[in-house]
Chains A and B, each alone.
Chain A
Amino acid sequence: MNPITANNITVAYHRKPVLQSVSFEAPEGKLIGIIGPNGAGKSTLLKSILGLVPKASGDVNIYGKTYRKQRQIVGYVPQRGSVDWDFPTSALDVVLMGRYRQIGLFRRPKKNDVKEAMSCLEKVGMEQYANRQISQLSGGQQQRVFLARALAQNAHIYFMDEPFIGVDAATEKAIVQLLSELREQGKTVIVVHHDLQTVKDYFDWVMLLNVRKIAFGPTNETFTSDLLQKTYGGKLTFLDQKEEEGVPFA
């Protein structure tokens, strides 16, 4: 069964359509990139799948059931800029938030929750920053804390919103490494991405999105200059350069 089946998702803010009739079936155990120009609705697609923005139409199934029933197997990494990093809390504390559902209402985190959170921090190479106040972390380190928090959710499907934006090279490396580890464990990861240069290296499957779904499929079939032109329009200098260099695209 497919980890994600989306049917006819439409989202509109104040009548302006942000997503129009997007349907897709994501395969299991793949790293899937969602790319498209600014305002193409990439983040909105993630949020509508997670029920964070109201849908004007459509429904989403996670392994054949509604998202509400499957919440516990879905992990989410929001955009780094979506929270106040001056909040008085430590890196470890943020990662622990990923386990609040397992911990349960009214209860406090136990020793093994802390141990689990520490091991998630280790996986992103941040164990020595566990007790650091989050405002004292660099942008890349903050992003890794967010990833560790998602790992602590121990999910089967991960949604990540622009995890590579504004991070240093070390963090980029760490994220790529983590993504391939998740794939080896058979998990499905959907990543909103903006850097076309790295798409072919990072993702097995890719969705080209510009309000409508332009294409969705294995990267080598989908990430073609033809389809990219359709997604971005004619003004994609990246494409021109590549063609001048004579590098074939797909």
Chain B
Amino acid sequence: MLNLLMDPNTQWVLFGTTLLGITSGVLGSFALLRRQSLIGDAMSHAALPGICIAFLITGEKMMGALLLGAGISAYIGTYCIQAIVRHTRLKMDTAIGLILSVFFGVGIVLMTFINRLPSGNQSGLDEFIFGQAAAMVSGDVRVIAIVAVILLVITLLLFKELKLLIFDREFAQGLGLPTTVLNGLLMTMIVTAVVIGLQAVGVVLMAAMLIAPPITARYWTNRLDHMVIISGLVGALSGGLGTFISAPITGMPTGPLIVVSACTLFLISLVIAPERGLFVKAWRLYQLRKRTAQEQILQSLYERTEEQYEKTETIDAFSREALEALRPLSDFRFKKAVANLQKSGDVEAYKNGYSLTLSGCERAHRVTLNNRLMQMYAMHELQFASLPMEHYNWDFLSIPEDDRNSLDHLLKEHQLQPKLLHRLPETERINR
């Protein structure tokens, strides 16, 4: 393995795939946010006939000419898609599917024709289908490097304009930005990023390099500048990893391995990313359900006790049925929540049911009060519209006194103030 890394040829290849990982990651971010990832797929497939025609014209495998041919035919394909959408009733997805398959089909026909030519037998054009990084020579990598640097510099210089163009094109136009020029430039940059990756990744899978790094990055950040940087890094890492794994094995196509690396990074992010990751989401939902079940039992107990006390001035324990009549819970959740409430000392179990402890009564009082204040707030939303409830995290016990007083007043009007807490300490606890 180490020997292989010392090999200057492998170093060139590694350098090249890393670079094109960066560019496709960076420009893929823009394509993704414009919802144009699939156009990238059409672009790469549409490049194939261009590669073949360039080979037929030059008669040899000159990287510069092949890339130029690829670029021109990818650009024509993209233009056709946009023309179809603009001038016919066909929608974007149909246009993409049409152009992608027609261009790819023509490409395959041309390639078969070339392979039958006496000179074309050893052309090595096949490697453009799935990509063959090992076939890159230092000259190819130099071309890739120069193009990559140009793309990245343009992105850096025009970052804020491109951002505005993608986010709100009409506003950009209103500001007087040359949106048509910028749009054409961005399109050209995406085509270029696709084309320089074709040799290493192949036309079939190049689109994945535009898609996987940015969606991975999106999981880790809410800022476009960070997203673009992370996406570039993910692209670089997948390019490097794919090459590293495929290099020692003869005939192993690099493209699929690069794409598998990128998708693995995506899957990892999907699960463990902060905020948006599946794991965090599941954990939050679990916590929310746990808290909600406890609060529901507390409120049901509070309301039953309140009702009972009103009638008989005594405090009872209440059966599960009596509580569930107010707020039904599944067997599992009820038992678990009651166990947690017992552990925290808020609820006591008796043979005829459950009852609030003194501290539990305080907690239940807060829960009930908050929920009833919420009820008042919802009934009179217009009156309290200026309350920034999100700022108070929907905790009505922490809002300013004035607003609290008017909500309390409403509670009184509807006879909904929780009454139990103030009476409980004087009460003899009997009947349980």
Report whether chain A binds chain B: yes
Partner of A169, one of B164, B223, B382: B382
Verify B218–A88 contact, CB threshold 8 A: yes
Query: A11–B189 Cα gap in the complex (Å)?
Result: 34
Known contacts A88-B224, A90-B223, A100-B161; decide if A78 and B171 are in contact (CB<8 Å): yes
Query: A138–B390 Cα gap in the complex (Å)?
Result: 10
Known contacts A71-B175, A82-B170, A106-B158; decide if A128 and B224 are in contact (CB<8 Å): no
Nearest A-chain residue to B164, judged by Cβ: A97
A contacts with B, residue count (CB < 8 A): 36
B382 contacts which chain A residues (CB < 8 A)?
A: 169
A109 contacts which chain B residues (CB < 8 A)?
A: 160
Known contacts A82-B168, A173-B385; decide if A89 and B174 are in contact (CB<8 Å): no
B224 contacts which chain A residues (CB < 8 A)?
A: 87-89
Instruction: Give the dominant DSSP class at B's interface.
Output: helix
Q: Mark A193-214, 1 if CB is under 8 A from B, else 0.
A: 0000000000000000000000
B424 part of interface (Cβ distance < 8 Å): no
B167 part of interface (Cβ distance < 8 Å): yes
B177 contacts which chain A residues (CB < 8 A)?
A: 100
B173 part of interface (Cβ distance < 8 Å): yes
Query: A68–B391 Cα gap in the complex (Å)?
Result: 42
B251 contacts which chain A residues (CB < 8 A)?
A: none
B221 part of interface (Cβ distance < 8 Å): yes
A83 part of interface (Cβ distance < 8 Å): yes
A90 contacts which chain B residues (CB < 8 A)?
A: 222-223
A105 part of interface (Cβ distance < 8 Å): yes
Nearest B-chain residue to A50, judged by Cβ: B174
Q: Which 3 A-B pairs have the closest CB atoms?
A: A169-B385, A133-B222, A170-B385
Residues of A within 8 A of B (CB): 47, 50-52, 68, 71-72, 74, 76, 78, 82-84, 87-90, 93-94, 97, 100-101, 103, 105-106, 108-109, 128, 133, 138, 149, 153, 168-170, 173
Given contacts A89-B222, A109-B160, 15 further A-B contacts (CB under 8 A): A50-B174, A52-B173, A68-B176, A71-B176, A74-B174, A84-B167, A88-B226, A93-B223, A97-B164, A100-B160, A101-B175, A106-B157, A108-B160, A128-B388, A169-B382
